[in-house]
Structure 1
Amino acid sequence: MNALDYHSCAEAWESRATIRTRPRRQVEDDQRLIYPLSRQPLVLSETFMRECPQQRDFALTQSLYKFINDVVIFETEIVDRTARRIAKDRFAIRFPFACRYDAMTVVVDEDYHALVAMDFMQQTIALTGFEPMALPEEIELSRAIPAALALAPAHLRDALELICVGIAENTLTDDVAAFARDDTVKPSVQGLMADHLLDEGRHSSFWARLVRIYWHSAPDADRHCIAEILPVFLAQYLTNDIQKRFDFALIAQLPINETARAALRQEVTSMAYPIDHQHPLLGNILRLFRASSMLDSPCVQDALAHYLPKPRR
């Protein structure tokens, strides 16, 4: 695909921009969960179930607050920054007006997602009475993107940023889908995430198309340089350091003895996924590499060998 083949999706998006067209989601005062158990395995651990099962709703609510906080950071500080620069034609890669127009649509959607998420957090505080713990001021991308850009020559930093954001938008979709599919959580949470999912599905395709446009025109030397940096980005992006630090802070809030706290910290540490082909986000990341045609390049295949599924013998 080249830039001249790009046709704007904005008209179709406008008629289906779900977050902007749905009624306000209001959190229910019912017995369903505020956050999926599968996304906070701490509450299913042996020590938690034995020592403080009555703290489940507190732990799940704090986990929802972190998720919302992560979404706000992602939408307003990561995606918004890149999309806005593309929309205003202040990006090193020059895209035609149709691409820039769609990028501004992404800006509007993402900021609206953040607004709706913040509204839902305030509703949850009012319903549960649980004030948020100190929430992280950064997400994994806040470290991973700068770490990757620091290794790139100046003329490739915007291209690398585009690819990193494309990867992230494709992985967020899977996160949101986990909420939308889980019937144990409140209907408002399911509905909110289903609305978000429809928008993010369109956004992920948009970013894949832009990456594909860039990759098809990139010189071989630039492709090789970017390929060599991708493992650095992935190693930072797939770490669980920030989540583990949050879980440790959550454990510190629980009314249990120090022996139980130490056991919970050990259980949390053992839950981390290996940063290799077994990581659950790798499927979506590879989907972006395939959709953008990046994975067709031998240099990318070589650079990502550690992350590619191992052939069966």
Structure 2
Amino acid sequence: MNLAGYHCFADDWERRATIRTRPRRLLENDNKLIFPVCRQPLVLSATFVEHCPQWREFVLVQSFYKFINDVVIFETEIVDKTARAIAKNRFSLPFPLACRVDAMTVVVDEDYHALVALDFLQQTVALTGIAPLDLPSHIELSRALPAAQAQAPAHLRDAVELIGVAIAENTVTHDVAAFSKDSSVKGAIRGMMADHLFDEGRHARFWTSLVRLYWQTASAQDRDAIAHVLPTFLGHYLTHELQKNFDLHLIDHLDISPNVRNALRDDVRALAFPIHRQHPLMSNILGFLQNSGLLQTPSVADALNAFAPGPGGLA
């Protein structure tokens, strides 16, 4: 691979990584929220506001626990795995040493983010006295990657993994940014999210650079084969199903009447985002595909237009 134009991130990591520069953050015992209400529409539904507003803290705290659990799964089971394989030269795509060193900084960051997340889970339990319910064992990406890889030729499965992780790292950066700016949330949590964002911005650029390097060397046949599986990946990645199931699980643990419970269930089932160009994450995904060079490939643009048809197309 030709590293011309590749920016090495290791020096920047030495100077600025949060594991090197940030103290431990402690959760404040104040009146601010653990989790933004805008990220949990259940507590904003008319049924909830009218019939069970006393359960708002419970629902928001449990939603925070799920968020933390998702972070730990994402960073230790998925991103860490891919970055570690690249760093140790065990990935089927051979990257130069400079890329492998950068990949190891991602490994260190992601494991540190998981440690911080678990620390905040422990602090939240101590502060609120609310223990976590059973949390999901997987996230959307846990399903999206193997589903897409199963449709790809064997020699392209690592390439599909690389692109899927890069898509996720670019979308999570925007998600974390919105969380970190919500003034309704406790300062320590916003600080944690700002720290996370500081690292994830670097990660997003790193993964975009790796995908761009790979795409420049991929054959036309391999590009077309990857384009073919992108709709499968996005269909699983953008689904609302896991969040809906978690919210229904939450409702089962509220001490409310059967009629209210059924009404809340109906509210949750009506909240899903359709998977098309108006999905909240789609603009971020398209930005990544543009910056990494994939969207300039006709088969990729065609696959995405078929995935999300409509006036103007996605390209």
Please indicate the TM-score interval, normalised by the length of the shorter structure: over 0.9
Q: Specify every segment of 5 or more residues in structure 1 that has no aligned partner in the other structure, as ranges.
A: none
Q: Specify every segment of 5 or more residues in structure 2 that has no aligned partner in the other structure, as ranges.
A: none
TM-score, structure 2 length as denominator?
Answer: 0.97
Residue 226 of structure 1 corresponds to 226
The 5-angstrom pairing of residues 96-245 of structure 1 reads: 96-245=96-245
In the alignment, is the contact (CA less than 8 A) between 2:10 and 2:102 conserved in 1?
yes
In the alignment, is the contact (CA less than 8 A) between 1:87 and 1:99 conserved in 2?
yes
- Secondary structure of the 1:250 match is helix
Residue 88 of structure 1 corresponds to 88
In the alignment, is the contact (CA less than 8 A) between 1:19 and 1:195 conserved in 2?
no
TM-score, structure 1 length as denominator?
Answer: 0.97
In the alignment, is the contact (CA less than 8 A) between 1:7 and 1:98 conserved in 2?
no
Count of equivalent residues = 312
Q: Distance in 2 between matches of 1:138 and 1:61?
A: 19
Residue 297 of structure 1 corresponds to 297
Q: Distance in 2 between matches of 1:220 and 1:50?
A: 58
CA shift at 1:308, angstroms?
7.2
Residue deviations 1:61-97 (CA, integer Å, cap 9, x gap)? 0000000000000000000000000000011111100
Q: Distance in 2 between matches of 1:56 and 1:151?
A: 43
- Secondary structure of the 1:260 match is helix
The 5-angstrom pairing of residues 250-265 of structure 1 reads: 250-265=250-265
CA shift at 1:234, angstroms?
0.3
When residues 120 and 146 of structure 1 are mapped into structure 2, their CA distance, relative to the original with a 3 A threshold, is same
Structure 1 runs, 4 residues or longer, greater than 6 Å off: none
In the alignment, is the contact (CA less than 8 A) between 1:80 and 1:107 conserved in 2?
yes
In the alignment, is the contact (CA less than 8 A) between 2:140 and 2:236 conserved in 1?
yes
CA shift at 1:283, angstroms?
1.1
CA shift at 1:4, angstroms?
4.8
Q: Which amino acid letter does the alignment assign opposite residue 153 of structure 2? A: P
CA shift at 1:32, angstroms?
0.4
Q: Distance in 2 between matches of 1:39 and 1:19?
A: 27
What is the aligned-residue RMSD (CA, Å)? 1.3
The 5-angstrom pairing of residues 58-77 of structure 1 reads: 58-77=58-77
CA shift at 1:18, angstroms?
2.0
Identity %: 62
- Secondary structure of the 1:304 match is helix
In the alignment, is the contact (CA less than 8 A) between 1:3 and 1:95 conserved in 2?
no
In the alignment, is the contact (CA less than 8 A) between 2:14 and 2:20 conserved in 1?
no
In the alignment, is the contact (CA less than 8 A) between 2:148 and 2:230 conserved in 1?
yes
